[in-house]
Amino acid sequence: MSFTIKKEGEIVVVDVEGQLIVGNRQELKQKVLDELERGEKKFLIDFAQTGYIDSSGLGVLVSLSKKIREQGGELRLANLNDDLKTLFELTKLDTLFQISDTRDRALASF
């Protein structure tokens, strides 16, 4: 499990490798909040290499999205596989997030 952060132009891109679950969600939260504090406004989380996400992982995404909006920023998601899509649909979180099929499309959407 690891989170890799890089900049693509003015967008902060986070790759979630492995699971996003109760055991590691704080690490993701902190990394994104650090960038937000540094003044970053545009965030993309890419799930291409993600396994499963549990409710506390979803919870962190919800709370990050709120915090980013409060700072006038935007959070977008990309590359949910079918099972992750189902998870977002079951919880109706697909209505809360802007989700793109590919990273390129997500990057172009900002």
Partner 1 sequence: MAASPTNDAGLRVSLEVEIPSDVAYIERVVELIRHPCAELAYNAHQLALNVPVALSEAISNAILRANNEDPGKRVFVRADVDALRLVVDVQDEGEPFDIDDNIRDATDPDNIEREDGRGLFLMRALMDRVERFDANGAPAGNVVRLILTRA
Applying CB under 8 A, the residues found at the interface with partner 1 are: 1, 18-19, 21-23, 51-56, 58-60, 62-63, 66, 81-84, 86-87, 90-93, 95-96
Residue number with CB closer to partner 1 (55 or 102): 55
Q: How far is the CB of 32 from partner 1 (least distance, A)?
A: 14
Residue number with CB closer to partner 1 (3 or 59): 59
Q: Which amino acid is at 44?
A: L
**Is residue 66 a contact partner of residue 36, using CB atoms and an 8 Å limit?**
no
What's the CA gap between 91 and 48, in Å, rounded? 20
Q: How far is the CB of 79 from partner 1 (least distance, A)?
A: 15
Half-sphere exposure of 75 (CA within 13 A, CB side): 23
